[in-house]
Amino acid sequence: MPKTLRSSEQYLFLELLRRARKDAGLTQQALADKLRRPQSFVAKYENGERRIDVIEFVALARAFGVAPMALLRRFVEAMGPGKEAKSGRTPRCRRPAKKSEI
């Protein structure tokens, strides 16, 4: 599997997170305060200097007021058809999303 740190998909993911933060009306500092992290944490992942793990992703989505699965779904849809198959796996949900998660 090719590295993803500087991939177009990684930049798309970062843009999605940046847009979600702005749509929530949060500055980097306000988001950092909600997460109880320094502002540099937000700046570093938004600039691609730092990667976030799944636990941090869930915390970010909740801070944005968005269901984590809905945010992930937006990313997969933005990648376009067939892109998620690069790793040989297709992300799947075990249950349909509730309306409150979208």
pLDDT in tens, 20-63: 999 999 999 999 999 999 999 999 999 999 999 999 999 999 99
CATH 3.20.20.70 fits 8-78, yes or no: no
Instruction: Indicate the pLDDT class of residue 102, thresholds 50, 70 and 90.
Output: very low
Domain boundaries, the chain: 8-78
Question: pTM of the full predicted structure?
Answer: 0.73
DSSP assignment of 24-75, as one string?
Answer: TT--HHHHHHHHTS-HHHHHHHHTTSS---HHHHHHHHHHHTS-HHHHHHHH
